[in-house]
Amino acid sequence: MGAFDVFVHRSRFRFGKSFGFSQTGYGCLAGTRIGRNGDSGLVLGLFLNYDLRRAEAVRMAASSLAGGLISRFDLGGGARLETSFQLGWTLIGMFDNPYVRIDPRRERDYNFDGGLLVKAEAALNFGRWGTLEMNLSRHDLVVLDGFPGVDRAAFLEASYTVPVAGAWSVGAEVVDARRHSDYRDAPDIRTGAAEYRLTVGLKF
């Protein structure tokens, strides 16, 4: 299979007391299909990931390479199960850091990081009855430039959406974001927040 024959992108925007968004996705750089049967089968490959998040608890960006396995199985009756698991390395990441912001020697407000990435995703599609989806991602990143230490973040997203017209859907979701940063020369940072939303979606 060719580069980016498999590609996933998700955009989310939040409006209210504060503006938030996330842009996440991955594309298969190289891979091979295993046990293909119609629309069902597995893909083992090397994936390029990107994560850009602006949440109440975590602000970060990362570009990563990961090995992984994605699957798609038709369950009958119009139902379909899709899963993905990836393990890899963040080549370059950026984490919001208030201590860098007040350092007169620096003109930025974030650390540069690199480190471990783990992602697991599952989506159960019931056709016109909607889709139940759960995504988990975790970043364990060592500070490369900034305040020495480790930046960690974990995101758990669960949603249920129902198609209403064409590619449009409505639904509900919960997003839980957690940050745990340990610094050698500054106080640790621990933040976390869960957001509950009603959603309007467009899929293409």
Lowest mean pLDDT among 14-18, 24-28, 50-54: 14-18
What is the set of domains in the chain, with CATH numbers? 7-202 (2.40.128)
pLDDT band for position 76 (cuts 50, 70, 90) = confident
Average pLDDT of the chain is 88
How many CA within 13 A on the CB side of residue 203?
15
Does residue 174 register a pLDDT over 70?
A: yes
Neighbours of 93 (CB within 10 A): 25
Does residue 161 register a pLDDT over 90?
A: yes
Please report the DSSP string for 134-146 in residue order. Answer: EEEEEEEEEEEES
Whole-model pTM: value is 0.88
Both tokens assigned to 12: 């989310």
Q: Quick check: 31 and 41 in contact, CB under 8 A?
A: no
Highest mean pLDDT among 36-50, 102-116, 168-182: 168-182
Show the DSSP H helices in the chain as ranges: 98-101
User: In this predicted structure, what is the pLDDT of residue 78?
Assistant: 84
Does residue 151 register a pLDDT over 70?
A: yes
Q: Which residues contact 198 (CB under 8 A, 6 or more apart)?
A: 170, 171, 172
Does residue 18 register a pLDDT over 70?
A: no
Q: Is 91 helix (H, G, I), strand (E, B) or coil?
A: strand
